[in-house]
Structure 1
């Protein structure tokens, strides 16, 4: 059944995130930071392996020996400009904030207490320095730390789960009816990664199952409708471009630099187009 592999992948992310959240509360902050750093290093390793696809023989044969690097560079530049103009990063963070409110159901801040004594000024406010008698202290509003943690978990894990080549190749193979072997492997990898992500970054990781469902589901539909969607050379260019995007994710996880990786996601769609142009020249 087309789409079964993606459903298994989504279930693995949700289950892994649930286990990670159960463990995360019992881990000290230092341990969670170590987990995040370890994930960052593993993401950099995965990024290096993916970026090595720029040397793929099929890509070199189709475009020439010098073109692959220029294709990746052009994809990142064009995709980054398009993504920044479309404000992909900001929109993804807004989606993360909406899901955070929906999932956490944070209580609204308590209303300001009404003073039981004291003469207000002409504007109806308490005199400066007056302490309203009988009023309960107003609890501080929910800090931005939890919000930032949710958004970071949602954004970082979503990018890791959807950028990899298996997300595209596996979904297309599933749509073509060639089996779910690739997505089953990705589900196992994502499930273990979700445990570590959620232990460090919380419930935002579970919410990342939504983008995975939409993203891989779209490529599954393309596989069903269009048949063989991408030639091998195009997939290699896309994989190499995705590898460099993963470098940005790794830098974010290691707290080295907050690279706006989401703004560069259109590069994944530009890479096959530039590959086709280079092959035609």
Structure 2
């Protein structure tokens, strides 16, 4: 297992670098670079959406999964954890940035999805678990290494704490890949990618401040889309 370790190291080192050199960043860099990362997230999302094979089950999974997320108040729970993480970090070190509580929580939830639940990370972990090729996760690590310092310059070391859920998610998917992928079809994986792309697109809108999509509440969709895709194919597509 190489990719999850490389990605975790990139996120952690990038966060520390952002805290150390963040005060030297100009106001323009701090305010404009997140918009660039949001644009990149939207672009990746569009590319992933383009892989869709069966649109109906993808939309159904997104709606049902988001509804489930709203019922269990997933985003609210993540926001509470984020607030506790910030409080704990601020007891240890001086905050790097000066952001409001609302802005902190909005950005932190978006970063959770971007770093931990993106289609690149999820599929890259599964692909390495099956083939031993960590290329996708290494590419993601390079992106995270440049993204983390910008956000850590304003959100502080709390960004570095995202390495824990990121490594847990990627490590679990890596270990489970041998059991999951043999049960999938190319169409199921394509629809999974498309669902992740929709969430990435929503994440980009949120990071750019265009629309505050409840991206954390949309995460359960990723667990539903492949079963829904398989069931839809069996009912309406299979001869």
Tell me the TM-score range normalised by the shorter chain: 0.7 to 0.9
Count of residues in Structure 1 that have an aligned counterpart in Structure 2:
231
Q: 2:56 maps to what in 1?
A: 70
| Contact in 2 for aligned 1:96/1:154 (Cα 8 Å) | yes
CA distance in 2, matches of 1:85, 1:224: 32
1:225 CA displacement: 4.7
Establish whether residue 170 from structure 1 lines up as the match of residue 124 from structure 2.
Answer: yes
1:235 CA displacement: 1.4
| Contact in 1 for aligned 2:109/2:215 (Cα 8 Å) | no
Establish whether residue 259 from structure 1 lines up as the match of residue 213 from structure 2.
Answer: yes
* Partner residue of 2:83 out of 64, 87, 97: 97
Matches within 5 A, 1:75-154: 75-105=61-91, 145-154=99-108
Deviations 1:219-244 (A, max 9, x none): 11212455635322111111111111
Q: Which segment drifts farther, 234-243 or 13-22?
A: 13-22
Match of 1:279, SS state, is: helix
Q: Which one has a larger percent helix, Structure 1 or Structure 2?
A: 2
CA distance in 2, matches of 1:271, 1:226: 14
Match of 1:176, SS state, is: helix
CA distance in 2, matches of 1:31, 1:182: 27
* Partner residue of 1:204 out of 151, 158, 176: 158
* Partner residue of 1:42 out of 40, 54, 73: 40
Q: 1:24 maps to what in 2?
A: 22
1:106 CA displacement: 7.3
Q: Pick closer, same or farther for the CA change 1:42–1:182 going to 2, 3 Å.
A: closer
Match of 1:208, SS state, is: helix
Match of 2:112, SS state, is: helix
CA distance in 1, matches of 2:40, 2:136: 20
CA distance in 2, matches of 1:22, 1:206: 13
CA distance in 2, matches of 1:186, 1:226: 22
Larger radius of gyration: 1
Unaligned runs of 5+ in 1: 60-67, 108-143
Q: 1:62 maps to what in 2?
A: none
Unaligned runs of 5+ in 2: none
Q: Which segment drifts farther, 80-89 or 21-30?
A: 21-30
Q: TM-score, normalised by structure 1?
A: 0.75
